Structure 1
Amino acid sequence: MSPEYCLVLSTCPVGDTATNLARLLVQERLAACVNVLPGLTSIYPWQGAIESSQEALLLIKTEKALYTRLETRLREQHPYELPEIVVIPVERALPDYLQWISQWLHDTPSP
């Protein structure tokens, strides 16, 4: 049975925070690729007020089987009290790309 894949979205502060989170998830093989998209303006209600923040969006590519571990690690490292973590199932993608994702996630790193 082939693995199922998902795209995880998470917003975070721009700058080092976004880059460090992305690098951590890839280094720990919880994600094969994380795109960091800076330049977002998020408008949202928080603690009785309408807030506005400059953020980066992380597009995290992984397998569904790793989601729980990824979510736990992201929550541990995320600076927000309530981080945005949204999962979108991948219905279809280039098979070679999906194979590349799985290869990174499951190959044993070299010593």
Structure 2
Amino acid sequence: MLSSYVVILTTTPSRDVSLKIARELVERKLVACVNIIPGVYSVYTWKGKVEEAQEELLIMKTKRELIKEVIKLVKELHPYEVPEIISLNISEGYEEYLKWIDEVVTIRR
């Protein structure tokens, strides 16, 4: 059975972009929290060439039902042509924290 809760990850090129995305997601109640981790160094292939970049990692906690909405908004606000936006199941967690996620995010139907 899939968990009701997920972590969504993305990387950004700067603190300004990170904060813009994080604030929008939290204000719109699409995520409960966004952790911004600076100093991530990425090595990847882009258009046939190995690239390297200093980035920030955003860790977003939300409900499974909101993944598509989170992805849509991150894509709209993100400067990258193809941003990394991936979700991971939260298989277990502190019950009070998971309840807090339920209280904070808003599922739109």
Same fold (TM over 0.5): yes
Q: What is the root-mean-square deviation of aligned Cα atoms in Å?
A: 1.4
C-alpha contact (below 8 Å) 2:40/2:55 kept by paired residues? yes
| Residue 90 (structure 1) aligns with | 90
Number of matched pairs = 105
Shift of residue 23 of structure 1? 0.9
Instruction: Specify the SS of the correspondent of 1:106.
Output: coil
| Residue 46 (structure 2) aligns with | 46
The runs of at least 4 aligned residues of structure 1 exceeding 4 Å deviation read: none
| % same residue | 38
Q: Which runs of 5+ in 1 are unaligned?
A: none
C-alpha contact (below 8 Å) 2:30/2:106 kept by paired residues? no
TM-score by length of 2: 0.92
In structure 2, how many angstroms separate the alpha carbons of the residues matched to 1:73 and 1:14?
17
In structure 2, how many angstroms separate the alpha carbons of the residues matched to 1:85 and 1:66?
13
Shift of residue 67 of structure 1? 0.7
| Residue 81 (structure 2) aligns with | 81
Shift of residue 106 of structure 1? 3.2
Instruction: Specify the SS of the correspondent of 1:73.
Output: helix
